[in-house]
Amino acid sequence: MRVVAAAVSRSWVQTRGFASTARRLDNYAFVGLGQMGYQMARNLQSKLQPGDKVSIFDVNPQSMKGLETEMKAVPSGAKVELAASAFDASKDADTVVTCLPEPQHVKAVYGSILTSSLPKKDRVFIDCSTIDPSTSRDVAKSVADAGQGSFVDAPMSGGVVGATAGTLTFMLGATTSLIPRVEPTLLRMGRKVLHCGDQGAGLSAKLANNYLLALNNIATAEAMNLGIKWGLDPKKLAGVINVSTGRCWPSEVNNPVKGVVETAPANRDYRGGFGISLMKKDLRLAMMAAKEAGADMKLADTAFEVYEDAEKREECAGRDFSVVYRYLGGKEE
């Protein structure tokens, strides 16, 4: 579901490496097979042992069937089982991974799992959804109150490309004692796990990063538009920015001007990449979390209006968030 370029400061998060000491967990559940979850579940299953089992569930039966076909086409990997519900997928699982669109979906799914019919077990629930930390903490409490194990947050960075290639970076919110149980599962779906602190910290780190990304994207689009209107060549302008203090991921990797970065969505009519609706969602979540924390964010409202207005326009809707350059009236030819 979700594509982000995250650069998390190493001064306050750590990369841990406990995979060799983790106990083996044979039964897995994966709930939520959107663009991200589909690829993550595929990688997880392919890297497990033939004696293991992965039960998958999504509200879209076609996604489930398609993934089952892909999984069974691979000679190695865990046994695959289609579940009738999130509850059925989770009832025998030692590890449950969820990857869902919005806070209300996370609440609903965990509400359906944590019923009195669920067999008691010391499970670990890994939620890779990008939601607000407050909702995540509420769900973690419901897992603990039900006596069904532990809940951690592990939102990811790297997008559909990273999910497909298995190169995602996970921002983990969990007690240190849980890392040996959680990290091996995440490393089957990604390349790096950054432990950010206790439960909820992974989401806080991701939302802080994505808030900065949202602002950098608009500023890059404005700066490129300004320079081009002054008569500067866009490639030369980007070259200056990217060896100077204005350098950022939107300027260097996801430049919003066609022809500057060959692999950027701007060269594909802004198709693919991190959708503008997803950026608007993450910005909204960051603003909600900031309000709860009492953090003042002077630029947030203006940035949100930009993404909200741009998304409403036919020429921008459904496209990569760098399409704000088009929204600003930037030259595209």
Which amino acid belongs to residue 294? Answer: G
Burial classification of residue 244, based on how many CB atoms lie within 10 Å of its CB (0-12 exposed, 13-18 middle, 19 or more buried) = exposed
Counted residue by residue, the chain has a size of 333
Query: Domain boundary residue among 197, 214, 234?
Result: 197
Q: What is the mean pLDDT of residues 306-324?
A: 97
**219 and 188 within one domain:** no
**62 and 32 within one domain:** yes
Catalytic: 280?
no
**132 and 37 within one domain:** yes
- Tell me if 217 sits within 8 A of 278, measured CB to CB: no
User: And the tokens for 10?
Assistant: 């190493």
pLDDT at 333: 80
Q: Helix (H) and strand (E) counts for the chain? A: 13, 10
Query: Domain boundary residue among 137, 170, 197?
Result: 197
**168 and 19 within one domain:** yes
Report d(CA 80, CA 68) in Å as an integer.
7
- Residue 62 within any structural domain of the chain: yes
Q: What is the CATH number of the domain that holds 236?
A: 1.10.1040.10
Query: Across-strand partners of 156?
Result: 170
Pairing of β 190-197 and β 14-15:
antiparallel
> Does the structure show a pLDDT above 60 at 20?
no
Q: pLDDT averaged over the chain?
A: 92
**Residue whose structure tokens are 């490393």:** 187
* Domain total in the chain: 2
**144 and 220 within one domain:** no
pLDDT digits 0-9 by tens, 120-130: 999 999 999 99
**210 and 185 within one domain:** no
pLDDT at 18: 40
- Residue 226 within any structural domain of the chain: yes
- Residue 7 within any structural domain of the chain: no
- List 47, 91, 206, 312, catalytic entry: 206
pLDDT at 24: 53
Query: Domain boundary residue among 137, 166, 197?
Result: 197
Q: What is the CATH number of the domain that holds 118?
A: 3.40.50.720
**193 and 220 within one domain:** no
**257 and 183 within one domain:** no
pLDDT digits 0-9 by tens, 191-248: 999 999 999 999 999 999 999 999 999 999 999 999 999 999 999 999 999 999 999 9
- Residue 3 within any structural domain of the chain: no
Domain that holds residue 299: 205-327
> Does the structure show a pLDDT above 60 at 12?
no
**176 and 86 within one domain:** yes
**220 and 108 within one domain:** no
- Residue 2 within any structural domain of the chain: no
pLDDT at 44: 98
> What are the two backbone dihedrals, phi and then psi, of residue 157, each rounded to the nearest 5 degrees?
-125, 140
- Residue 9 within any structural domain of the chain: no
- Residue 238 within any structural domain of the chain: yes
- Residue 191 within any structural domain of the chain: yes
Q: What is the mean pLDDT of residues 303-308?
A: 98
